[in-house]
Structure 1
Amino acid sequence: MALFVPAEPGPPAEVRTWTRTVGGAESNVACQLAGLGLRSAWVSAVGDDAFGRAVVSFVAAHGVDVSAVLVDPDRPTGLYIKESDAAGSPVRYYRRGSAASALGPSLLATLPLDGVRLVHTSGITPALSDSCLALMRALLAAPRAHQLSFDVNWRPRLWADRDPAVLRELAALADVVLVGADEAETMWGVGEPAAIRKLLPEPATLVVKQAERGATLIERDPATGTDLPEVFQRALRVDVVEPVGAGDAFAAGYLAAALAGAAPVRRLRAGHLRAAGALRTHDDVGPPLPAEVVARLLDADEAEWAAAHVS
């Protein structure tokens, strides 16, 4: 989507100048994965308008394959407004009737999935329309040779007139599920990783993001079919500029490390390190931490990790 953020300080109602950039959960992850050196592609739809062209150009400039993005001649590109704040940024969506909301199950026949190792999705898409929900159900239920990850990405404004219980249904069909503890508490009434796992036992991998506390990984042992012990990794201390986009960056860091066969703690650290970059900017896709800092902290002992402070 096209994204507008304040270009000057002050209450949003008094801001007169806004900066146009680009944001969106799946496109954020695709851009972050490309930045980590992986081949990634983004599939969506935009309008035949200036915003749509800007979105596609932005994502492509990050090294993402956008050849499967559809251009809708009749519907507009979705957009949203972000009222940036370090404590949390209210967002206003303008995407009802957008090009992306018209996507449906027929898209599956056109997806170039040969050789794909992972398909990443989010709980935002099924909230957009009945056809988008049908697309997600078909995608998750279809036989697959790839892994499928699902970031719950709870957006209450998008579910105002829909049943959010569908998110539990979709998550159960994924291989890897990422969910915020606060999201789970709001949607399902449980926030502790063990309780979330009890509610959602089906995915092979569950990652519970616990905001500034850290993240917990629960995964099934493929040999025994039972869960391995929980793995927790505290988050880095970061001077936060604005938090939106950090969850997507975490997902990309974690998934890239998982695809590389990294150990559990290293996967979680890779997520935290990528999220730290996003937390330092008003944009959804921020510049990463310096490579030498990332390399050092990935291999740091617990004391050095705990003492690290990203300013």
Structure 2
Amino acid sequence: MNGAPGIPFPQDGPVVCVGETMAALAPTPHGPLDTAEDLRMSVAGAESNVAMYLADLGRDVSWLSALGDDAFGRRVRAAVAAAGVDVTGVRTDPQRPTGLLVKDPGRDRTRVHYYRSGSAASALGPEVLDDDRIRSATLVHLTGVTPALSPSCRDLVERALAAPPSPERPYAISFDVNHRPALWPDGTAATVLRDLADRADIVFVGLDEAQDLWGADLEPADVRRLLKGPRILVVKDGGRAAHALTETDGKMCTVPALPTDVVEPVGAGDAFAAGFLAGLLRGEDLRRALRLGHVTASSALRVTGDHGPLPNAATIAELLDLDDEDWPTGRRAAR
């Protein structure tokens, strides 16, 4: 049995997510960009994705960022706010534009084209951490996207992770490695992301990411040996399973993924992180937190955008309560 005892960390309370969100354009109907006649606009940002799913799961959550004084920025702000996220800490930059991404779905994978150089969010810096929302938070969520955007953004993340939890930094920090190769100069990501991840309290990384960054033969236990600092390390193995490894006993809690008809994989990792964090915040053990991560990720996989509707609360509760033999198919919940 891969279960693990409950972990009294982080404490229940407000969450703050910090990072860039862009306007996103994708072909509709779903298909290659070069033959598309219509594009659908949505929003895309790893940290705001986490924030929106946390709000869906009943958490008190704020998003801190910057947007341009333009139509894209107004669209992004409205969409994130409509999901129940506090956006009052998002500043408007009159000089810099809102970032933009365009999705190009292919037969095997979706290519993403970024237009974010010089964006409003790329000018974020350590001063963001002086916001009163962060001072009163129990958890702050960051990703490896932010330090790749600019020197000031990297300074922001470096300062956030400069010290362990203390009276001066009473909140926990979760960090999703979220490696985006196109944003990093060749040869720089591996060292920087390993150093940042090793200083966070909770870390998420895809097994494929870890293998690309730190060694092709790595297994989850090897990643734990590389990243000794986090209290909880979650290694996601695509559509197969997710593994949680703690600092206390070295044991690994593994929960298989739910079978899902995948429409678009982009955003599923953010959804998983939100579900797992929501589980921890409400006092679930690792097994149930991983299950909630999978349930939330499935919602993202079923839509072309990054944010899909969750099952109702009763269905989620039934899924979390399934016996281990029923969980891989969700059979009892489906009956």
TM superposition score category, shorter chain reference: over 0.9
Is 1:305 the counterpart of 2:331 in the alignment?
A: no
| One of 95, 99, 123 as aligned partner of 2:116 | 95
Q: Is the 8 A contact 1:4 1:18 kept in 2?
A: yes
Runs of 4+ in structure 1 over 4 Å off? none
Q: Which range is displaced more, 133-142 or 174-183?
A: 133-142
Q: Which residue of 2 aligns with 1:224?
A: none
Q: Which residue of 2 aligns with 1:77?
A: 98
CA distance in 1, matches of 2:108, 2:269: 15
Is 1:152 the counterpart of 2:177 in the alignment?
A: yes
CA distance in 1, matches of 2:89, 2:136: 16
Is 1:283 the counterpart of 2:308 in the alignment?
A: no
Q: Which residue of 2 aligns with 1:66?
A: 87
Does the C-alpha gap of structure 1 residues 60 and 195 become closer, same or farther in structure 2, counting only changes over 3 Å?
same
Is 1:188 the counterpart of 2:207 in the alignment?
A: no
CA distance in 2, matches of 1:291, 1:108: 34
Q: Which residue of 1 aligns with 2:243?
A: 216
Q: Any unmatched runs of 5+ in structure 1?
A: 222-226
Q: 1:305 is paired with a residue of what secondary structure?
A: coil
- Give the aligned residue type for 1:248: D
Q: Any unmatched runs of 5+ in structure 2?
A: 1-21
Q: Which range is displaced more, 264-273 or 162-171?
A: 162-171
Q: 1:68 is paired with a residue of what secondary structure?
A: coil
- Give the aligned residue type for 2:280: A
Q: Which residue of 1 aligns with 2:53?
A: 32
Q: Which residue of 2 aligns with 1:241?
A: 263
| TM-superposition CA deviations, 1:76-130 (whole Å, max 9, x none) | 0001011235843211111010000011122222352233110000000000011
CA distance in 1, matches of 2:48, 2:126: 20
Structure of higher RCO (CA pairs closer than 8 Å, 6+ residues apart): 2
| TM-superposition CA deviations, 1:135-160 (whole Å, max 9, x none) | 11011114410110000001111114
CA distance in 1, matches of 2:133, 2:161: 16
| One of 232, 244, 252 as aligned partner of 2:274 | 252
Q: Which residue of 2 aligns with 1:171?
A: 197
Q: Is the 8 A contact 1:120 1:148 kept in 2?
A: yes
Does the C-alpha gap of structure 1 residues 91 and 39 become closer, same or farther in structure 2, counting only changes over 3 Å?
same
Q: 1:265 is paired with a residue of what secondary structure?
A: helix
Q: 2:105 is paired with a residue of what secondary structure?
A: coil
Q: TM-score, normalised by structure 1?
A: 0.94
Paired-residue identity, %:
50
CA distance in 2, matches of 1:86, 1:180: 22
1:191-202 residue pairs with structure 2 within 5 A? 191-202=218-229
| Displacement after TM superposition at 1:15 (Å) | 1.0
CA distance in 2, matches of 1:85, 1:256: 33
